Structure 1
Amino acid sequence: MQTRLDFASVQVRDLQASRAFYTQVIGFEAHGQDRPGAVVFQDQDGAIFAIREPLATTDLGGAFGVGVSLWFAVQDVDATHARIVASGGTVLSPPQPGPFGRMFAVRDPDGYQLTFHQG
């Protein structure tokens, strides 16, 4: 059986604040129309990522972002880093060599670690 990751989403405390972070600080563009309680982003290669309000059946006990790291491939790590810093992003680690090429990490409003890497 062959599988591939088709879709990823993370739950956020404040959908509008997170949407502003992902569009204004990170530079993502929302894909299509927003879904109820969610914002979907899609890159030029077809990867789909979403942020969403917690599901009614989910009890996170306030623990968002714990143990989650999302990796995004970019063409130019240094330019991406400079843009995110200029937009007020919280950088966890500056550009440096990493397991998949040059990389850096930032934290989103809910504590999720976003790693941008250039292979």
Structure 2
Amino acid sequence: MALYLLVLGVCLLVIGCVFLALVTAGTPRYRTEANDLIALFDKALNSQVSETEWNTIIGYPIRHDEYLDSIRRRAMHLMDAHGRRWQIAQGKPLLNQEGHAELSVLRDHLAAHTALRQTQQR
């Protein structure tokens, strides 16, 4: 009987610890920030981004910042209008020349906006 109570107590302790760990652990969240978008745009401009990486960041909505989400939607529109997905495997640029120019302008605009926002927060 003592062995039964000992096993029962250890099982309840283990189950209780697992339950407590699951209740207190939060769901991991990924927040796309301006620096993440700038880095992605730099990679795309240098033809170093894969289609999977592009779709992972650009295809995920940014709910915490409406401005960043508008930039993300604009980049998605650029890919739809000027994307050359089939040539990435051959080492060619992600976008055609017109899309490349528009992405460069979008990247510069985002970098300037981010720098202005950082100076205002100081």
Which one has the bigger strand percentage? 1
What TM-score, normalized to structure 1? 0.24
Q: Work out which of the two has the higher radius of gyration on C-alpha atoms and give 1 or 2.
A: 2
Higher helix share: 2
